[in-house]
């Protein structure tokens, strides 16, 4: 039963996706199961909020198609902050088309999501090929990147060391294919490690896990040391499936939700969790991370007050209800934090509440 299990234990369960394991360890070390939904419309607003709340979150969720000036500055800026403040980037793209189309939406166009977002999400209404198509596109992108790095190594052009090791591809607009220009390929060391991880995943993950256990054990005493031991995120991509929604009258219920779980189980080498309103792990071996939007807290000093909706269909629950009663793992908060006067302080308040709820659930 993953509900009663600590995140560090879950990180070490067999068959845990490397990115999920990384995220679970990161959550424990930073003591945060809070994801910020950074629904802002300019690059500077995005980078400002990332900087302000980065210490309090494990994940930052974007909607890049609402950023009016999205470009290199956005990708590089976010990458630098994520690396410094230690969080994963999740593009809330909600893919929902035939396999061939979603592959292009994931890897091409102005956003080239696969390059910079470790995590993205998809609806399953088009059928399971949406998952296999995105999985194949992610694998191709990583393989192309690693091939170009191998070329680079054999050619022997060293990269500046400041530009490596963060699990993202380069920040150029050329996408991830090897166009022969190795000067566009940072992350040299990281991808050598990643290539080994992809080819011989059992051996290298076992090795890594020993170190990670020590890292999380150290977290209580020395967070910085633990973060250092955790290292960079793996060069891997993960998918969340939308199994349930928070909005009033949505259709993601019953048999649809069940189908989503079945598809996730069939592809747990790529699907790391769900967007859902409650924990959907039910079979032995299930270890999906439940990420839950529609989360809000009453303002400080008005604790008894009920938080309801936004007048546009959104429905809110408290972190305590989502995590303790519903068994959710990561809470996703947008306007609750974005509209606060002191956003850093408000993010900390959400972090504390969500972490306390997790500790209550697992009996820590
Ligand atoms: O069911 C859902 C799924 C998602 S990803 N309900 C949601 O609200 N979301 C997203 O979470 C939504 O697109 C928005 O970015 C965020 C919630 O924002 P908030 O301001 O209501 O906290």
Q: Which pLDDT does position 303 carry in this prediction?
A: 80
Ligand 1 within 6 A of CB of 103: no
One digit per residue, the tens of pLDDT, for the chain of length 364 reads 999 999 999 999 999 999 999 999 999 999 999 999 999 999 999 999 999 999 999 999 999 999 999 999 999 999 999 999 999 999 999 999 999 999 999 999 999 999 999 999 999 999 999 999 999 999 999 999 999 888 877 776 554 444 445 667 653 433 333 333 333 333 333 433 333 332 223 333 333 556 666 666 666 568 999 999 999 999 999 999 999 999 999 999 999 999 999 999 999 999 999 999 999 999 999 999 999 999 999 988 888 788 789 999 999 999 999 999 999 999 999 999 999 999 999 999 999 999 999 999 999 8
Q: How far is the CA of 310 from the centre of ligand 1 (A)?
A: 11
**Count, residues in the chain:** 364
- Whole-angstrom CA distances from 300 to 33, 35, 294, 314 are 20, 20, 18, 21
What pLDDT, on the 0 to 100 scale, is given for residue 214?
A: 63
CB 207 within 8 A of CB 21: no
Closest CA to 70 of 53, 47, 86, 95: 47
For residue 199, the model assigns a pLDDT of 28
Rounded to two decimals, the ipTM of the complex is 1.00
- Does 334 carry a binding-site annotation? yes
CB 13 within 8 A of CB 20: no
Residue 295 has what DSSP assignment?
B
Q: What is this structure's pTM?
A: 0.87
Counting ligand 1 atoms within 8 A of each CB, the residue from 36, 37, 273 with the most, and so the one to mutate, is 37
pLDDT at 114: 98
Whether 242 contacts 234, CB under 8 Å = no
Q: What's the 68 CA to ligand 1 centre distance in angstroms?
A: 20
For residues 255 and 241, what is the distance between their CA atoms, to the nearest angstrom? 15
**Which atom of ligand 1 is nearest the CA belonging to 336?**
22
The pLDDT assigned to 333 comes to 98
DSSP H stretches of helix in the chain: 7-11, 18-30, 43-53, 72-85, 99-107, 113-116, 129-155, 188-199, 201-218, 223-230, 254-266, 319-320, 335-338, 343-362
CB of 60 within 6 A of ligand 1: the answer is no
Check pocket membership of 328 for ligand 1, CB cut-off 6 A. no
336 contacts 297 by C-beta, under 8 angstroms:
yes
Question: 57, 293, 295, 350: which to mutate for ligand 1, most atoms within 8 A of CB?
Answer: 293
C-alpha 294 – ligand 1 centre gap (Å):
6
Active-site residues, by number, are: 92, 94, 97
Whether 333 lines ligand 1, by a CB cut-off of 6 Å, is yes
Q: Is 37 in the pocket of ligand 1 (CB under 6 A)?
A: yes
According to DSSP H, which parts of 128-253 are helical?
129-155, 188-199, 201-218, 223-230
Residue whose pair of structure tokens reads 């977290």 in the numeric block:
219
């Amino acid at each position: 039963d993953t509900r009663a299990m600590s995140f560090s234990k879950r990180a070490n369960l067999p068959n845990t996706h490397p990115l999920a394991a990384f995220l679970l360890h990161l959550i424990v070390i930073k003591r945060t199961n809070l994801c910020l939904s950074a629904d802002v419309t300019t690059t500077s607003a995005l980078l400002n909020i990332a900087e302000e709340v980065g210490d309090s979150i494990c994940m930052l969720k974007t909607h890049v198609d609402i950023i009016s000036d999205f470009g290199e500055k956005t990708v590089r800026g976010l990458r630098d902050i994520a690396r410094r403040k230690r969080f994963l980037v999740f593009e809330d793209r909600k893919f929902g088309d035939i396999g061939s189309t979603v592959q292009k939406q994931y890897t091409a166009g102005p956003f080239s999501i696969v390059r910079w977002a470790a995590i993205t999400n998809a609806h399953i209404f088009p059928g399971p090929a949406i998952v296999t198509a995105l999985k194949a596109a992610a694998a191709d992108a990583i393989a192309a990147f690693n091939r170009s790095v191998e070329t680079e190594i054999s050619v022997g052009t060293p990269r500046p060391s400041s530009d490596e090791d963060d699990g993202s591809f380069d920040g150029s607009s050329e996408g991830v294919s090897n166009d022969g220009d190795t000067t566009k390929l940072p992350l040299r060391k990281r991808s050598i490690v990643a290539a080994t991880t992809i080819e011989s995943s059992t051996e290298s993950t076992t090795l890594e896990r020993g170190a990670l256990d020590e890292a999380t054990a150290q977290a209580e005493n020395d967070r910085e040391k633990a973060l250092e031991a955790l290292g960079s995120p793996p060069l891997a991509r993960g998918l969340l499936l939308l199994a349930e929604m928070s909005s009033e009258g949505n259709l993601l219920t019953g048999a649809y939700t069940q189908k989503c779980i079945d598809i996730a189980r069939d592809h747990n080498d790529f699907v790391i969790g769900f967007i859902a309103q409650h924990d959907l792990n039910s079979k032995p071996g299930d270890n999906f991370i439940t990420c839950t939007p529609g989360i809000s807290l009453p303002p400080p000093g008005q604790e008894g007050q009920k938080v309801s909706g936004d007048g546009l269909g959104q429905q809110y629950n408290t972190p305590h209800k989502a995590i303790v009663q519903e068994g959710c793992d990561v809470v996703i908060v947008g306007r609750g934090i974005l509209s606060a006067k002191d956003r850093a302080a408000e993010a900390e308040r959400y972090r504390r509440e969500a972490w306390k709820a997790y500790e209550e659930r697992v009996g820590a």
